[in-house]
Amino acid sequence: MGILGQVKPAQSPQRKAVFLDRDGVINRAVIRDGKPYPPATVNEMQLLPRVDEALHALKAAGFMLIVVTNQPDVARGTTSRAAVDAIHERLLAALPLDEIRCCFHDDADACSCRKPKPGALLEAAAQYDLSLTDSFMVGDRWRDIEAGHTAGVRTILIDYAYCEQAASCLSDYVCGSLFDATQWILSPKTQEPHRD
């Protein structure tokens, strides 16, 4: 797994985080035949509307912002790790993100950090002493929702009605953008102490 933009772990008390998928949440996914794909280069990468505003609001509310993304095209040989890293460096420079955790493997590699497995979220939680029950996962695909659900965070689906399987577990909230997700995360009712 590749990690860019690491920060030092918090000492105490436990912090909370918003875990974010990349394509379709922060930047526009490339849609082909009803399915989302990542931009191939930095020049193809376009931020979605109001992403910067949403991330600054979450940061101001005390959340760590950790991108958790699958980029299997590296393992498949259809893109280079350098191209993916260049996109991540641009995102880290432009947005108030704490870190980007990227899995470069494909399903056949059985990697624990490749969503829908929760490894990337659990590793970040251990590293930064995060309270998972007070944290969130925002994604646009079933893999994101299942990873978040398994990790024990509340999940938010940005629903583009892709032509792919649905998540086997229900998300806690469904909306149309990261800005909408942020409004829900920061609402007083959502911020009440969460109990399983």
The DSSP line for 43-79 is GG--BPTTHHHHHHHHHHTTEEEEEEEE-THHHHTSS
Active site residues: 21, 23
